Structure 1
Amino acid sequence: MQRVCFRLRVKPERLAEYKRRHAAVWPEMLAALRDAGWHDYSLFLHDDGLLVGYFRTPDLTAALAAMEQTEVNQRWQAEMAPFFESLDGRRPDQGFEVLEEIFNLADQLTNEPERHQP
């Protein structure tokens, strides 16, 4: 399972509304994400507008492509786009920056005996 972490920046004047919108995401959007292979999806928001998202998926490209095919995602992305800075005309799901994973506790614990060999 691939772990994906990404970042975006929410406009400071839109933070409260962004939080409100995510307190009750449309049920059909939740179902679409689940059906497209987005697991353990979470968003974290700093008061300066930094938004960090995390999810697990069998295949990021396939998960994004599956969401692209849904009408609910088209509507959701259109509604969310005005909340973000620096998308350069792209939708939020096309404009996020994927971060490089540099550490995972479980992975290192699994490989621990070989890491400590002299």
Structure 2
Amino acid sequence: MNRYCFCLQVRPDRRDEYVDRHRDVWPEMQAALRESGWHNYSLFLRDDGLLIGYVEAGDLEAAQKAMAATEVNTRWQAEMSEFFTGTDGRAPDESFLLVPEIFHLTPSSED
């Protein structure tokens, strides 16, 4: 399983609403993510709107394409797009700035 980190910029004035929307992510959206190959997916959000995402996938591009083909993702991206800056008219999930991994602490034999 590959690990991916990405960042996006949430509009600081919409930060609280963005957090609220993620308290109740639609069950069908969560199911579509799992079925499309997204695993161990987390989002982290700073006060200034910097969003950091972490996801594990066999192939992120394939997982993104599988999600793009779902109706629920189309609806979710349409609702979420208003929260972001710097996406140049693309959906947020098409605007990830991937961050290269430079270190990973692997479990020791004692773990």
TM-score range for the pair, normalised by the shorter chain length: over 0.9
Question: What's the counterpart of residue 17 of structure 2?
Answer: 17
Per-residue deviation, 1:69? 0.6
If each structure's strand is expressed as a fraction of its own residues, which one has the higher value? 2
Q: 2:63 and 2:49 mapped to 1: Cα distance?
A: 26
Runs ≥4 residues deviating over 4 A:
none
Question: What's the counterpart of residue 68 of structure 1?
Answer: 68
Aligned-residue identity in percent: 59
Q: 2:10 and 2:69 mapped to 1: Cα distance?
A: 25
Question: What's the counterpart of residue 53 of structure 2?
Answer: 53
Per-residue deviation, 1:19? 0.2
The total of aligned residue pairs comes to 109
SS at match of 2:51: strand
What is the TM-score with the length of structure 2 in the denominator? 0.95
SS at match of 2:30: helix
Query: AA paired with 2:9?
Result: R
Give the greater-gyration-radius structure (CA): 1
SS at match of 2:56: strand
Task: Structure 1: give runs of 5+ residues left out of the alignment.
Answer: 111-118
Q: 1:53 and 1:82 mapped to 2: Cα distance?
A: 18
Task: Structure 2: give runs of 5+ residues left out of the alignment.
Answer: none
